[in-house]
Structure 1
Amino acid sequence: METVRPERSSVGGFLRAVSRIVRYRRGGKERGAGVVTDEVSVGKPKFAEGFNGASLSSSHPGFPDEDEKKKKQPPLQEQRQQNREVMETLLAELFAGIAAIKASYAQLQVAQSPYDPDTIQSADQVVVAELKQLSQLKHSYFKQIDAGTVAGCGHSDRDSQLLAELQEQKNLVKTFQITVKKLEAELLHKDAEVLLKKQALDAEQASSALRRPLQVLSGLRPSSLNPSHFLAALQEARRSVRSFAGQIVRRMELAGWDLDAAAAAAVSFQGEVQWGKREHRAFAFESYVCATIFSGFKDGDFGLGGGDRRAFFDEFVSLRSASLGQALKEPEFARFCRAKYLIMVHPAMDESFSGGGNARAVVSSGEGFPETEFYQGFAEMARRVWLLHRLFFSFGPKEEASIFQARRGCRFSEVFMESVVEPEEDAGGAAVGFTVAPGFRLRKTIYHCKVYLAAPAERRRSGV
């Protein structure tokens, strides 16, 4: 009789023994598989003692301890968690490197214009260093994959991931800051372009304004005169007066004059004035030039000689088309220029402006006129005023035309006046500080006089 003994060193042997017992119980005696007697059912093998009535225990001395297996290798869930942390750390470091490259590239672009070689070099070095670090990260990861050692490292992996995410956020903030600076630079560039376009437009409008009087005053006839012709000539005269007043201010500054004292003296005939801004002092010099050059304007002969309406018009046409040198050869105009220059330009001014030259002596002698920039500017202004005077009396008798100015302290009126500075909200109740340029009445048309409004404190003192 054959006794079946299980192989205790093999689980497979144990399973084969169990299979034989099951087949025996199902089919009884089997032939060709070995001799089996009833003693098998009576005298059971020792390995089956624990099989009937209860499952085999893992603590059986013939089987390995399952707890020991669990201690030797980590659970599958824990292994997956470690692998996931490793991948998250890898991705965090990867995105941190990409963010650093992006920030450095943005810095590289900004440094191109305006060109900054030091910033370009440092940004380029950072880009190269970050690319090398990413390459090392890739090789390190693949080396762990090939060796089968990609595993978590506990809290150190989580710390590395947080550090990498923090570095990524820092690089993103740096990129945003560089982008903001770039946008600000572009905004400044756009503002400069807008300013240049505005200046070009203003220059075009000024050029158009200069051409407009030429067009309006071309081909005039006495019978076709109207108020628009006088307005065109008046604008030319006022622009030339302001230009010459600007020359006086610039030469005073170069000569070291006290502009505050000079401005106060220029309008002293109209009383003491308080300036809203220091740059408003220029209006005092413009007022002084206008008061001098327009003195005697209401007389038909300008105090120098008379003529009729037709003669005034013919002289206006001839002098307007002539050059300045040709106009100075006309006796009446030359006498007008000489008289006004000697009154307007004080000897002390003349000496400081010309550097002690003899320009004033040449003018006062009547032998000629200096060809200096200052005197040429004065002569051109005088010609514009002379032409305005000739055109003014070409319209008819004195009853149809007059010149006027505003008295100091009188209430501002929009019908007769125009402020040379932006008026305040209560400009209707403002008081006149002084007249900058006179106004005119031609038939039923009023041409505003230019005024400088008194400062608010000055108005309160005067009770306005």
Structure 2
Amino acid sequence: MLAQTTLKKEKLEKRVRRLEQKLAKDPLADPAVDLSPTPQLLDYVVLGASEASRAFTKLLTSLMKESKWDLDAAANSIEPNVNYVGKMDKKFAFESYVNHRMLNGFESENFFVSSGLSTVIDPEKNSKECFKEFQELRSADAWHVVTSNPQSNFSKYCLKRFMDVVHPKMEESFFGNTDHRKQVLSSIHPKSQFYQSFLKLAKAMWILHRLAFSFEPNARIFQVQRNVEFSPSYMESVSRSGEADCEISGVTCKVGFTVMPGFRVEKTIIKCQVYVVSSSKEAEHS
């Protein structure tokens, strides 16, 4: 039994490494020097965070398949009763799951990982510090950052969000144990390839947050509720098949769920990414 568990763990670790090689490019490690926060830079960083989420979600669902999960049931538990248009569209539910947990508490100046009133006491100073951290972390190696400064807010954020995203049953089904969780509970960052993959996602979300808080006033996050009519002025559909289905049916497109939140900064709106369904099909589930 022990030998089987070890073999399974080694097999899954190799799979993680193969997938990591395919998804190795870090969209946020841009050598360009940005001297100040701009809406255009925020748009670029939001795109990078979305790509990082998509990459980690792909890894997560691959491990679920390897571990014989019922992906249909899992997707339905995240976003119930959605009439998906495309055969592969359930992947957006898992992406929504990851984004929701990684971005929960975004309105706090440090994701609620520690107490702080810097934005209230000295908002100008806090904005400059956030942008400085964004610049420093953007091209840095996440593993080096969390291990060299384990008491930093970023390090605490990584530990907390790993617990939020990878629950015990999920980890046990992947690796036959909960070793990652045990280490994280002891404030230790695991050395596994799987955790390294997670750190790339965590870094992308953290620097998005740091950049958002570099503006005065801060950039604001928003998402769209289910059944709201689709509006291209502040929403972007993640699936062309959903929009095409509405066009063919001649009915209104409605939001099935938010995949990636949008952001408002100054006079700029960075569109919220949503999964759309036709109003007629959504009515069948109501």
Quote the residue 1:169 is aligned against: none
Higher strand share: 2
Quote the residue 1:195 is aligned against: none
Quote the residue 1:403 is aligned against: 221
Quote the residue 2:257 is aligned against: 434
* Larger RCO, structures 1/2 (Cα 8 Å, 6+ apart): 2
- Cα deviation for residue 395 of structure 1 reads 1.2
1:18-57 superposed matches below 5 A: none
Q: Secondary structure at the match of 1:335?
A: helix
- Cα deviation for residue 355 of structure 1 reads 2.2
1:318-397 superposed matches below 5 A: 318-329=136-147, 330=149, 331-366=152-187, 368-397=188-217
**Paired letter, 2:90:** R
1:79-94 superposed matches below 5 A: none
Quote the residue 2:85 is aligned against: 276
Quote the residue 1:312 is aligned against: 130
- Cα deviation for residue 456 of structure 1 reads 5.4
1:235-314 superposed matches below 5 A: 235-268=47-80, 272-305=81-114, 306=116, 307=118, 308-314=126-132
More moved, 352-361 vs 372-381: 352-361
Q: How many residues align?
A: 246
1:146-177, Cα deviation, whole Å (9 max, x unpaired): xxxxxxxxxxxxxxxxxxxxxxxxxxxxxxxx
Q: Does 1:450 align with 2:268?
A: no
Q: 2-side partners of 1:278 and 1:363: how far apart?
A: 36
Q: 2-side partners of 1:418 and 1:406: how far apart?
A: 11
Q: Secondary structure at the match of 2:90?
A: helix
1:240-263, Cα deviation, whole Å (9 max, x unpaired): 000011111100000001000011
* Alpha-carbon distance change, 455 to 353 in structure 1, aligned in 2, over 3 angstroms: farther
Quote the residue 2:12 is aligned against: none
Q: Secondary structure at the match of 1:243?
A: helix
TM-score scaled by structure 2? 0.80
Q: 1-side partners of 2:266 and 2:285: how far apart?
A: 35
TM-score scaled by structure 1? 0.50
Root-mean-square deviation (CA, aligned residues, Å) is 2.3
Q: Secondary structure at the match of 1:328?
A: helix
Q: Percent identity over the alignment? A: 35
Q: 1-side partners of 2:198 and 2:251: how far apart?
A: 36
Q: 2-side partners of 1:455 and 1:277: how far apart?
A: 13
Gaps of 5+ in 2: 1-21, 119-125
Q: 2-side partners of 1:339 and 1:210: how far apart?
A: 24
More moved, 309-318 vs 243-252: 309-318
**Paired letter, 2:109:** G
